[in-house]
Amino acid sequence: MDLAALLALQQLDTAIEQAVHARDRLPARLEARSAESDVMALVDERRRVEGRQQEAQTELDCIEAESDDIGRTRERLEKQLKTILSPREAEAIQHELQTLAARRDELDDRGLELLEASSSADEELASIDASLARARDAAESAGQRAEEAETSADQALAEIRAERKVAADALAAGVLAEYDRRRAAFGGIAVATIAHGSCTGCHMELSVAETDAIKRLPDDAVPECPHCARILVR
């Protein structure tokens, strides 16, 4: 078994896994997502302010209708006052007119409040719109940067995969099948090396005797880690 070729294949497979992992977590993509959520937050905010403004407008419409009603009632009462009435009736109408005037004042005050609120909502909307335009621009360029980063990550990945195919094709089918079986069984790492006396697959230390035994294996034997059973390349 060509252990060096197997190790090279393992290194390529590990590089592919890392590249896929990085491709899914590109900082440019995270930035683009955050720029998009900035836009969404402003759109929500705009909707809230618009809702408030709509409520103010609805109330203003009611005030206007009630004011018109009061105006008509007052006209009618004033006409009535001009006809001959008993002092008692005249007093009652005067009282009613006073009540209407007070209500009109209340409505006017509330109407002013609402107009002020509506005008400050207008200002708020203008400022949100300006922020929204900036946020949309930022989201668009962040989106472009993310796409570019993904394209180049995809290219890099395609290059490693092509290299992996060449490396895999060079191996005998049986060896490749055995490698794939061990990779599936050992969390993606089928082939490990001994570094500083430990297996790089399971990080367990190998005794001097175990290391010696591996070194003394004939060339056609497949050395395995005594702890995790991964193929060990000396």
Binding-site ranges for Zn ion (CB under 5 A) = 199, 201-202, 225, 227-228
Q: How far is the CB of 199 from Zn ion (least distance, A)?
A: 3
Q: Which residue, 19 or 189, is less far from Zn ion as judged by CB?
A: 189
| Least distance in angstroms from the C-beta of 221 to Zn ion | 17
Q: In whole angstroms, how close is the CB of 196 to Zn ion at the nearest point? A: 13
Q: Which is nearer to Zn ion, 53 or 193 (CB)?
A: 193
Burial class (CB in 10 A: 0-12, 13-18, 19+), 180: middle
Q: How far is the CB of 228 from Zn ion (least distance, A)?
A: 3
3-class SS of residue 192 = strand
Measured distance CA(108)–CA(70) in Å, rounded: 12
Sequence-distant (6+) residues with CB within 8 A of 59 are: 110, 114
Measured from the CB of residue 144, what is the shortest distance to Zn ion in angstroms?
46
Residue at token pair 């009630």: 66
133-138, long-range: CB < 8 A, 24+ apart: 135/35, 135/38, 135/39, 135/42, 136/39, 138/35, 138/38
Residue 171 near residue 179 (C-beta atoms within 8 A): yes
